[in-house]
Amino acid sequence: MQMKTRKKLRFFTAALIATTAIASTTLSARGDDAKPLAGKTIGVTVIGTDHDWDLKAYQGQIDEIKALGGEVIALDAQRNDQTQISQIQTLIAQKPDAIIEQLGNLDVLTPWLQKIKDAGIPLFTVDTATPLAINNTTSNNYNIGANLALQMVQDMGGKGKVVLFNGFASVPVCKIRIDQIKYVLSAFPDIEIIDPELRDVIPNTVQQAYNDMTDMLTKYGPDSGLKSVAACWDVPMVGATQAIEAAKRTDVRTYGVDGSPDFVAMVADKNSQAGAVEAQQPYEIGKQAVRNVATYLNGGQVPPFTFVPAVLINKDNAAETAGPFLPKN
């Protein structure tokens, strides 16, 4: 069984590399079109922009649509599923030349993404893996989860307990990252994931994570073997890190994904218990999604997935890698 799984993983990895290469080739082939979206209207629907990643990806789409000569209808659902559904209905009625959907709860979204397809409107997504989309532009979340887990294993010396914040399994990128973390950690018999897992929330993410982590530190003291805390994004890790440092626990480190400036600053601080972060490039992801739309609407080919590289920032390399992701003064 393990051998079959490894073969499937190798095949899937090769497929991912291939689709990324196709995307790059297709884009460069159409790079001479100064305004490839001239006369086109592109709808953008996002679940929210309160998180640094979400806002930058959203802004990247808006800026690139305008830069390529298109008109944009940009709608922010402000973290409300029903608002996003209503906004998708509005976009369908306006019949844009294409729609880009960013993040959200796939259990809720799928029937409405199907309605976009049924209306004959080309659907593209950002960080939403669905067969209904022509293309999903994202990071390679399989690599992100695995690389973060391997960093944890290295820092833990291959043994100890792990706390996972896992509240968004219905968001595809979160499920992928957490599944990959668990898959890697399962290969190390001296590492234990504490059950039950904690649930990260929106809103009040930092405060809730602080409270939940404080409770865990009380339950699992310095002699418990607790060493790592991780989540599929990094905002809850800000609160978790604050709780660890308030308890003066130097035996526990935190790990997250996205590259939110506050958490990157913690990782870059040698005195902080933030261990590592997989920093994505959301603005570039947003721009790349729009370029894929432009390619498609001009008769070019686009692959099912386009991957924009992420950067693993840890205690050892932060001086060289953290700069572009740190808070801007």
Distance between CA 275 and CA 28 in Å, rounded?
Answer: 37
Residues whose CB falls within 8 Å of the CB of residue 321, separated by 6 or more in sequence, listed in order: 279, 311, 312, 313
Which pLDDT value is given to residue 21? 39
The phi, psi pair for 110, rounded to 5°, reads: -50, -50
Does domain 33-138+282-298 bear CATH number 1.20.210.10? no
For residue 259, the number of C-alpha atoms closer than 13 Å in the C-beta half-sphere is 25
Residue-by-residue DSSP string for 223-273: TS-EEEEEESSSHHHHHHHHHHHHTT-TT-EEEEEE--HHHHHHHH-TTS-
Domain parsing of the chain, residue ranges: 33-138+282-298, 141-279+312-325
What tokens does 118 get? Answer: 């049924």
Instruction: Tell me phi and psi for residue 262, to 5 degrees.
Output: -60, -40
Question: What is the predicted pLDDT for the residue at 328?
Answer: 84
For residue 275, give the nearest of 235, 228, 239 by alpha carbon. 228
The pTM of this model reads 0.85
Give CA–CA dist 60/75, Å, rounded: 14
In the chain, which ranges are E strands?
41-46, 71-76, 98-102, 123-126, 135-138, 160-165, 191-193, 226-231, 253-258, 274-279, 305-307, 311-314
Cα–Cα nearest to 268, from 283, 279, 280: 279
The pLDDT value recorded for residue 292 is 98
Instruction: Tell me how far apart the alpha carbons of residues 36 and 40 are, in angstroms, rounded to a whole number.
Output: 9
Start-to-end CA distance of the chain, whole Å, equals: 52
Could you tell me which CATH class the domain 141-279+312-325 is placed in?
alpha beta
CA neighbor of 205 nearest in space, from 245, 175, 225, 232: 232
Torsion of CA 244, 238, 172, 327, to 10 degrees: -150
Mapped onto helix, strand or coil, the DSSP state of residue 42 is strand
- In the prediction, which pLDDT does 34 show? 84
State the pLDDT at residue 16: 44
11, 149, 179 from 5: Cα distances, Å: 10, 18, 14
The DSSP secondary structure of 68-111, one letter per residue, reads TT-EEEEEE-TT-HHHHHHHHHHHHHH--SEEEEES--HHHHHH
From first to last of its 329 residues, what are the pLDDT tens digits of the chain? 344 434 333 333 433 443 443 344 344 334 446 899 999 999 999 999 999 999 999 999 999 999 999 999 999 999 999 999 999 999 999 999 999 999 988 999 999 999 999 999 999 999 999 999 999 999 999 999 999 999 999 999 999 999 999 989 889 899 999 999 999 999 999 999 999 999 999 999 999 999 999 999 999 999 999 999 999 999 999 999 999 999 999 999 999 999 999 999 999 999 999 999 999 999 999 999 999 999 999 999 999 999 999 999 999 999 999 999 998 87
The rounded radius of gyration (Å) of the Cα atoms in the chain is: 20
